[in-house]
A and B are shown apart, each in its own frame.
Chain A
Amino acid sequence: MNKRKDIKAIVIGASAGGLYALKKLLPALPASFPCPVLVVQHLSPHSDNYMVRMLDELSPLVVKEADEKEPVIPGTVYVAPPDYHLLVEEDFTLSLSVEEKVNYSRPAIDVLFETAADAYGRHLMGIILTGANADGANGLLAVKKRGGFTIVQQPEDAESQAMPKAAIELVKPHKIFTLDEIITFLSKGDFCSK
């Protein structure tokens, strides 16, 4: 991995326990972080944007709710809005959809990861964090198949183990890291292409 310097975007998927993990992870990324970050965190469809506002407050990076047609810009964290799927277009703009839930979820991690894998190909890094279902496993597999880099949170380290376990089993990711290791690894940012 040390050789890779061609990552252009990072996608992160989290469910149960994810808010705690994201609260640790995103604020640890420096303002100079050179890649855009796209996040799906499962939420109640009725939740307001308090999570985004809080993460933005805590982070040196700009954290915002994703808007449709918005171009993806490095150094920004885009969070899928509650009750919408988030998709990446091949021109690196964002789309939203209200179509059926996938894996009982909207937003679904699979939808973000699969479309991002199409758009970024090998230049994508996918990360699956804590969660109590199996959303994200197929998406992470798509990232890997396209030559992207894959990381899963070590199940014993996660608040809920099911999601990391499902992803590890299906994908055999490049790295299995604790949350602290993910943070150390990411915050260097030296794998991002300039």
Chain B
Amino acid sequence: MQENDISTVENIELELLLQAVYLQYGYDFRNYSRAHVKRRVKHRLVQEGMKSISELQNQILHDKTAFDRLVRDLSINVTEMFRNPAFYKSVREKVIPILKTYPYLKIWHAGCATGEEVFSFAIMLKEEGLLERTQIYATDFNPYIIKKARNGIFPIRYIKEYTANYQKAGGLESFSDYYHANDELVIFDKNLSKNMVFAEHNLVTDSVFAEVNMIVCRNVLIYFNNNLQNKVLHLFHKSLVVGGFLALGTKESLMFSDEEKKYKVIDPKQKIFKKKYE
């Protein structure tokens, strides 16, 4: 077969695999960025020592553990504390003052990965005197990382970078006051996670999670195609109180979405939006 024919067959196999995964396990990757999914599936092929996607499909249909490994490949969990410090700075300056006017708050981190973002927010909320009256929901569709996120324990090798991020983000204290460290790990203060609830939630297939004052969903929508982005943005709109805030990743936007007109732009560069009164 010619290389280009191989590629056509491969696309058919991929389509069938995603269909099979959806029918058998309920996880719907059919509207994820196809280039991304293809790369990750091929990566899994190599790891499993297989030659074709059809072969992989057969295994995944009959063996749940093989499916679990695929989910881990498709869910990109790369994250860090105070990722994009300028974003946190902007939240501190433009969002927190308004949140302070509420007696009680709910914040939802959708696609929280291993929790670094959630603990970063908790630290900021604590410094602003808001942590005690904030209920924090943190969700992801990947059950393995939800379990990890809950613990607030992170590898120590990135702590220098995180400390620098924290300072650039406008941190007010000494970062090391928030954790205990041993040779390998940093363990964050239990008080930070008192009001956190971690739960499995799939943005594609599950419905509204809770009504909240702020949604933080960073670097998740980039993996979805336009239709799916619209669907999830619609879900977010339904979940936000009027005047609530939506924070997306630095390279994400409402620009190509029908939801754009329903929000006021708070910070165009840091992608912070506020739900309008209808």
Contacts and interface: CB of A to CB of B under 8 A. Distances in A.
B and A form one assembly: yes
Given A67-B251, A81-B251, A146-B4, A118 B222 contact: no
Contacts of A84: 251
Interface in B83-97: none
Nearest to B229: A69
A98 B76 contact: yes
Interface stretch (A21-29, A89-97, A178-186): A89-97
A162 to B, nearest CB: 25
A87 B78 contact: no
Interface in B223-274: 223, 225-226, 229, 251-253, 255-256
A68 B36 contact: no
Interface in A110-156: 111, 114-115, 118-119, 121-122, 145-147
B39 A90 contact: no
B251 A146 contact: no
Interface in B25-50: 33-36, 38-40
B35 A88 contact: yes
B35 A115 contact: yes
A84 B223 CA distance: 12
Given A69-B256, A87-B33, A95-B222, A115 B39 contact: yes
A169 interface: no
Interface in B1-24: 3-4, 7, 11
A193 B229 CA distance: 33
A68 B34 contact: no
Contact of B36 (A97, A145, A146, A147): A97
Contact of A146 (B3, B39, B76, B256): B3
B39 A111 contact: yes
B219 interface: yes
B35 A90 contact: yes
A43 B38 CA distance: 26
A95 B36 contact: yes
Contacts of A87: 33, 35-36, 39
Interface string B73-115: 0001010000000000000000000000000000000000000
A102 to B, nearest CB: 10
Contacts of B40: 99
Contacts of B256: 69
A69 B253 CA distance: 10
30 contacts: A67-B251, A67-B255, A69-B226, A69-B256, A81-B251, A89-B34, A89-B35, A90-B11, A90-B34, A95-B35, A95-B36, A95-B223, A97-B33, A97-B36, A97-B222, A97-B223, A98-B76, A98-B219, A98-B222, A99-B36, A99-B76, A115-B35, A115-B39, A118-B7, A118-B38, A121-B4, A121-B7, A122-B4, A145-B3, A147-B4
Given A95-B222, A118-B7, A146-B3, 9 more contacts: A90-B35, A95-B35, A98-B76, A98-B78, A99-B36, A100-B76, A118-B35, A146-B7, A147-B3
3 interchain residue pairs of minimum CB distance: A87-B35, A95-B33, A99-B76
